[in-house]
Structure 1
């Protein structure tokens, strides 16, 4: 038995993900040409996406990482956003690009946008691989989106359920029994 057996369906294949990441990287290269952005990966889920994305960006950039918690081990986002790891550099007068794996309620990004405005970032934009518009509770301006996804619990390509399934090379939906057994 392998982790692939826990997947109900594959929503986006490895090849579809690669094509979309390349397209987004080209768009971001045009947008940020001459801006020297700070690309901020939201850990842990965004790590695979960001790693592949910056390889497609033919510009000068810096990278940094933040680790935030809003799920606290479950399948539902909470109202409580906690910073587990903050940036290691200042964002003052920098063009910041947040790289997210998935945007669900929007609460985490709302929190980050407000925070980075107080830290005096020159601009704050968002690129996400996956977007769940049906789950949005707060309005956040997501400038670049890879794919819209229905309201199902997706895993793979960095997305997890209880720290499992991040290493799947595709995005899939877990079987109900995998959620109940994990």
Structure 2
């Protein structure tokens, strides 16, 4: 039987989200900010983050595909849902669940900049810089969790486990089955 190992508690997450929201609010005070959440993994983090911001923001979403049901990225990134608003001349904050290899964020940064955004900053719930294959700027980082396949707090494996309140490492049993307990 597989198991899960708690890596970050619900209270630790809440504390870091509040700290990052304060920093973002100070950095963008007096400016118009478009916050773009990367679906689906960032939706829980995004909801908590925007509720802690003390500045007005406009919210939009984008969705790409690179993982599918696998525990590793396919390396091929495709745009599934484009941004619905005009970002030309605007400051954009791209909110992502995990930045690991950098490929998805590089794709998204290039895409949003090609739409004419004045600036694009990345806010990641989890940063795994040791897995980088493509260097990308991650301006705001809530947590650095260096190893393991993570689920919970919006993070999934094959669309499962998003509902877990903390962040867990998914451990597979001898049969390859994943069983967070």
* Shorter-normalised TM range: over 0.9
Hey, what's the Cα distance between the residues in 1 that align with 2:60 and 2:148? 30
CA deviation profile, 1:124-155 (whole Å, cap 9, x unmatched): 00000101111110000000111111221000
Q: Does the CA-based 8 Å contact 1:7-1:172 persist in structure 2?
A: no
Aligned to 1:105: 101
TM-score, normalised with respect to structure 2: 0.94
Hey, what's the Cα distance between the residues in 2 that align with 1:178 and 1:13? 27
Hey, what's the Cα distance between the residues in 2 that align with 1:11 and 1:44? 21
Q: Does the CA-based 8 Å contact 2:25-2:53 persist in structure 1?
A: yes
Aligned to 2:158: 162
Q: Does the CA-based 8 Å contact 2:33-2:91 persist in structure 1?
A: yes
Hey, what's the Cα distance between the residues in 2 that align with 1:33 and 1:77? 36
SS of the aligned residue for 1:116 comes to: helix
Residues 99 and 7 of structure 1, relative CA distance in 2, 3 Å threshold = farther
SS of the aligned residue for 1:180 comes to: coil
Q: Which has the higher helix share?
A: 1
Q: Say which of 105, 113, 127 aligns to 1:117.
A: 113
Point out where structure 2 has 5 or more consecutive residues left out of the alignment: none
Hey, what's the Cα distance between the residues in 2 that align with 1:95 and 1:14? 30
Indicate yes or no: 2:105 matched with 1:128. no
Residue pairs, 1:58-77, within 5 angstroms? 58-77=54-73
Q: Say which of 16, 20, 29 aligns to 2:25.
A: 29
Cα distance, 1:6 vs structure 2 = 5.5
Residues 69 and 147 of structure 1, relative CA distance in 2, 3 Å threshold = same
SS of the aligned residue for 1:66 comes to: strand
| Cα RMSD, aligned residues only | 1.5
TM-score, normalised with respect to structure 1: 0.94
SS of the aligned residue for 1:181 comes to: coil
Aligned to 1:14: 10
Hey, what's the Cα distance between the residues in 2 that align with 1:179 and 1:24? 40
Aligned to 1:84: 80
Residues 16 and 178 of structure 1, relative CA distance in 2, 3 Å threshold = farther
Which structure has more relative contact order (CA 8 Å, sep 6+)? It is: 2
Runs of 4+ in 1 over 3 A off after TM superposition: none
SS of the aligned residue for 1:114 comes to: helix
Q: Does the CA-based 8 Å contact 2:63-2:80 persist in structure 1?
A: yes
